[in-house]
Amino acid sequence: MPSFSNNIGVVVIGRNEGDRLIKSLDAVVDGSRVVVYIDSGSTDGSCEVASQRGVEVVNLDMSVPFTAARARNAGFERLRAKHPEVEYVQFIDGDCEVVEGWIEAAAQTLNANPDAVAVCGWTCERYPERSIYNRICSVEWRMMGPIGRTSSFGGNVMIRADALAAVGGYDASVIAAEDDELSVRLRQNGGTLLRIDQDSVLHDADIHSLSQWWRRAKRCGYAFAQVSHIHGAYPERKFVKEIWRTWIWGAIAPLGTLALLPFTHGLSLIVLGRYPLIALRTIFKTQRQGFSWADSIAWGFSCAVSVFPQAIGAAKFHRDRLLKKQHEIIEHKLPQAPAMKAIQPTGR
């Protein structure tokens, strides 16, 4: 193992991930680094699975609404309290399995780039062929950003511990896109974010129904609204373009079309032709980028119609904000079979 391995800590977060969590933990528990698992109220034996693997477990207080950001902060705080020597922290979602060699490559990148505060790679969908919704996620991961300097990262990222502490960690009130929000503050504090051309994790989207996809897109709209509310001012303008597109094509255009029907003798319906045109344009553009026709078609139709649940999510954020309601996660995954069925570590 490289000499820097003892300076790396791992934080895994999860909630009822079942077999996904077992894969996630077994990929990082090798005796050379400290691993902390943060559980958000699982009822499937996840905490027992982690304990059996020698992983330190932190149970979040169930009286406070769960968010991924809150879980990551709890893991980071426990890691810093018990292992202050840790320099780099690899954050992992419980539905992801780290690809062999990723942690070493990420640490080497941070070692070679003193100005870099975070490094991410490519997320690969484990079972894209199992549903059209998994295919959508598979394409989405490859649209995350450019190689080299990038403006943001996802949930599976390695961050310098001192840089994360300097900005106060994640914003626990952000229910989704908390990584995008943190990325802004890290850059504003003078840090550089890097994406390297290497696979980092295998992700199991496990989306098999329209209702799951709808809730996921709704959560995305909530995130656009919340993060743009925080960082929408110049010069950042984070998610401002996305939220305007959501409002116009997810709410204003369709509602306006229906409202004008009696006055235009049906001509206002022409506006709705925009949606299939967007789908077709996206399909051909995605296919030219090297994706299969199946992936391109799934992604194209998702891009065309996701504005509708996104608009509902954005409206929900502003309703919660005006009513001063606590922001709560919008879950789309179904719990897997109890993790205790496969409790024994597999080893590496």
- Shared domain for 119 and 238, answered yes or no, is no
Q: What is the structure's pLDDT at 101?
A: 95
**Total structural domains within the chain:** 2
- Shared domain for 272 and 202, answered yes or no, is no
| CATH, residue 102 | 3.90.550.10
Q: What is the structure's pLDDT at 329?
A: 87
Residues in the chain predicted with pLDDT less than 50, given as ranges, are 1-4, 342, 347-348
- Shared domain for 13 and 105, answered yes or no, is yes
Backbone torsion region of residue 158, taken as left when φ is above 0, otherwise alpha when ψ lies between -120 and 50, otherwise beta: beta
Q: What is the structure's pLDDT at 331?
A: 87
Query: Is the CB of residue 209 less than 8 Å from the CB of residue 134?
Result: no
- Shared domain for 16 and 99, answered yes or no, is yes
Q: What is the structure's pLDDT at 64?
A: 86
Report if residue 311 sits inside a domain: yes
Report if residue 182 sits inside a domain: yes
- Residues 96-108 as b/e (b if ≥16 CB within 10 A, e otherwise) read bbbbeebbebbbe
Report if residue 216 sits inside a domain: no
- Which CA distances in Å does 2 have to 25, 32, 33, 111? 20, 10, 12, 12
- Shared domain for 16 and 91, answered yes or no, is yes
Domain that holds residue 259: 231-322
- Shared domain for 162 and 285, answered yes or no, is no
Q: What is the pLDDT of residues 290-324, one digit of tens each?
A: 999 999 999 999 999 999 999 999 999 999 999 99
- Shared domain for 159 and 15, answered yes or no, is yes
Give which of 281, 338, 292, 307 is closest to 43, Cα–Cα.
Answer: 338
Q: What is the pLDDT of residues 220-231, one digit of tens each?
A: 999 999 999 999
Q: What is the structure's pLDDT at 30?
A: 86
Query: Is the CB of residue 331 less than 8 Å from the CB of residue 215?
Result: yes
